[in-house]
Amino acid sequence: MRPHLWDPWATARTAPDRTAVVADDETYTFAELTSRADALAGALRARGVPDGTILSTDIPTGPRFFALVLAALRHGHGLFPIAPNLLALPEGPSLLTDAGVALHLTTGAPTAGGPTLPCPVVGDDDLLAGVAHAPAVPAPAPPPAAGHLVFATSGTTGLPQAVVRTRPNRPYKGVAVAERYGAGLSRGPHLMANPTYHLGTLGPALYALQAGSAVVVQRTWSTSGFAELADRYAADSVMLSPDRLTDLVTAGQAPHRRFQVVFHGGAACPPAVKRAAIDLFGPVLHEYYGTSKSVLTEITAPEWLDKPGSVGRPLPGIRIEVTRDGRALPPGEVGEIGIRLRAADRDPSEAPVHATGDVGFLDADGYLFVIGRAGTPQELRTAQLEHEIRLLPGVTDAVVLGDPAPVCFVEHGDGRALPDPVPAIEASARRIGLPAPRVVLSASGSLPRTPSGKIRRAELAGVAAGFTGAGAGAGAGAEAEGRG
């Protein structure tokens, strides 16, 4: 099937009563979703909010959230979805300032005692009610440039930062519906089991919705609840962060009905977890790698089985460059990963090559392997060790911190009899040129994580620092932890 452009307003015309978004007991059809999106845009115009204004929201994942997203995209606003717990941090309001937010939308009326924000706050229903009897302000003609999304970084190594993406220079056109993404009018829903305020988790759900699929939101995570929702709504696609995949693999919990596609990305997925997930769901896993700028690479399950550990090849129009000291490296050599984006995704004022902040290598066939974050030579060796630990049997995730002696936090074990990973970790450290490591073993899923599934490195850094000066522990001296 050739790709074709589609959007929720086309679905509303074609199948107005088709379910669009479900979250607990809240349901909107496509007609209701697009009507609310247009009403919100009209209310913003009536309030005097100019084209291109950046808005923020902490509206929970569900029909009202997606209506606001569509209003922003079609009617030319930026939208910064921000988690309430992040907004409540002392640094939370400054993220809105950094992003240039002019208006915050929430549910209900603003509550007393909440965080003081650097912009006006209004409930989405109050916004609509406030202009219900005011003269309508017509939409501009021609249509404005499409809106865009703003996100906060995950904050795994420190405080989150706001990232404002380049606004498209064309009106909103929807999405190009492609068969490989398992979405469209002929497909079942997309099951969303991760938060919406991260690009990696919102992206697949928003794509499916625009392509004509319903979005079913799992607001409270459990493996049994996941399988029940997938079967009840006959879901065809899902996005799962690696920690969610690990939970499902450990529980052996999969829906009776097979998914057409299982997306995952946003953090490194250890090969042991991915192989088990392919066994559990079938060869339908579809991994992507990207930055706040764009999705950069994709890889299917059959490709990955041939190239285990790879995140795939660049998408059309994107070039990946691996360099060291400004010099392009041959296949197999580790260096800093840079990208040349499509013209539509790049601001003319930006440099032609965007540094991802990651290090890795390309193989002879052009497949990219990401091993960690860029930094000093010591940090590069630490990233190499972390990458090699993830390749070990039974390892479901790992973080390596510490300078000069590494401290390795390793999630290990999936119920099978597995070899002790510590000797292999020691051998890798020696070969890479690092001092003898201290290895802290823990159960799968026990390391502290962000809501999007990434390990909180900053939280573990203090633990690693506590080992400084105590001597390196390895082999029989490795420690076992049971964080739950």
Mean pLDDT of 394-406: 87
Q: What would the two tokens of residue 330 be? A: 């041959």
In-domain check, residue 320: no
Length of the chain, in residues: 484
Are 21 and 29 a contacting pair, CB within 8 Å? no
Residue 346 covered by a domain = no
Taking CA atoms, 460 is separated from 208, 275, 357, in Å, by 36, 27, 21
Query: What is the mean predicted confidence (pLDDT) over 219-231?
Result: 95
CA proximity to 47, closest of 101, 127, 105 = 127
| Same domain membership, residue 395 and residue 277 | no
In a shared domain, residues 298 and 416:
no
| E strand or H helix that includes residue 295 | strand 295-300
Look at residues 243, 278, 311 and tell me which one is the last residue of a structural domain. 311
Strand, helix or coil for residue 269: coil
pLDDT of 177 over the 90 cut: yes
436 and 303, same structural domain? no
Residues 421, 273: one domain? no
Confidence band, pLDDT 50/70/90 cuts, at residue 415:
low
Total domains in the fold of the chain: 2
Distance CA 278, CA 269 (A): 12
Distance CA 410, CA 480 (A): 9
Residues 303 and 397 in one domain: no
Does the residue 382 lie in any domain?
no
Convert 356-372 to b/e letters by CB count within 10 Å (16 or more is b). Answer: bebbbbbeeeebbbbbb
Report the mean per-residue pLDDT for the chain. Answer: 88
Q: Are residues 23 and 117 in the same domain?
A: yes
**Cβ contact 169:145 at 8 Å:** yes
**Is residue 107 a part of any domain in this protein?**
yes
Q: What pLDDT, on the 0 to 100 scale, is given for residue 158?
A: 65
% of residues, the chain, pLDDT over 70: 89
Shared domain check, 276 and 156: yes
Same domain, 30 and 151: yes
Residue 198 or 110, more confident: 198
Give domain status of residue 93, yes or no. Answer: yes
At position 482, the amino acid (one-letter code) is G
Rounded Cα gap, residues 440 and 218, in angstroms: 33
367 domain residue, yes or no: no
Note whether 298 and 275 are within 8 A (CB).
no
**DSSP one-letter code for 437:** P
| 293 and 144 together in one domain | yes
**Which CATH number characterizes residue 466's domain?**
3.30.300.30
How high is the pLDDT of residue 474?
Answer: 41
* Co-location of 126 and 275 in the same domain: yes
Residue 128: burial class (beta carbons within 10 Å; 0-12, 13-18, 19+): middle
Is the pLDDT at 355 greater than 60, yes or no? yes
Least confident of 216-225, 309-318, 342-351: 342-351
In a domain, 171, yes or no: yes
Cα–Cα dist 439/427, whole Å? 13
Burial class, 328, CB count within 10 angstroms (exposed 0-12 / middle 13-18 / buried 19+) = exposed
**Does residue 343 fall inside a structural domain?**
no
CB 321 within 8 Å of CB 329: no
List pLDDT tens digits, range 22-75: 999 999 999 999 999 999 999 999 999 999 999 999 999 999 999 999 999 999
CATH value at residue 55: 3.40.50.12780
CB 457 within 8 A of CB 401: yes
Domain range for 39:
4-311
Same domain, 398 and 275: no
Q: What CA–CA distances, in Å, run from 133 to 49, 105, 125, 130, 392?
A: 18, 20, 14, 8, 65
Q: How far apart are CA 357 and CA 261, in angstroms?
A: 29
Q: What is the pLDDT of residue 416?
A: 58
| Cα–chain center distance at 480 | 30
Sheet arrangement for strand 285-290: 26-29, 19-23, 215-217, 190-192, 237-239, 261-265, 285-290, 295-300, 313-314
3-state helix, strand, coil in the chain (%, to 5): 30, 25, 45
CA pair distance 375, 382, nearest whole angstrom: 10
Domain boundary (311, 335, 354) is at 311
| 294 and 442 together in one domain | no
Q: What is the DSSP letter of 281?
A: H
Residue 57: CB atoms within 10 Å: 24
Query: Can you tell me the distance from the alpha carbon of 396 to that of 390, in angstroms, rounded to the nearest whole number?
Result: 7
| Predicted pLDDT of residue 41 | 96
Which of 311, 331, 357 corresponds to the end of one domain? 311
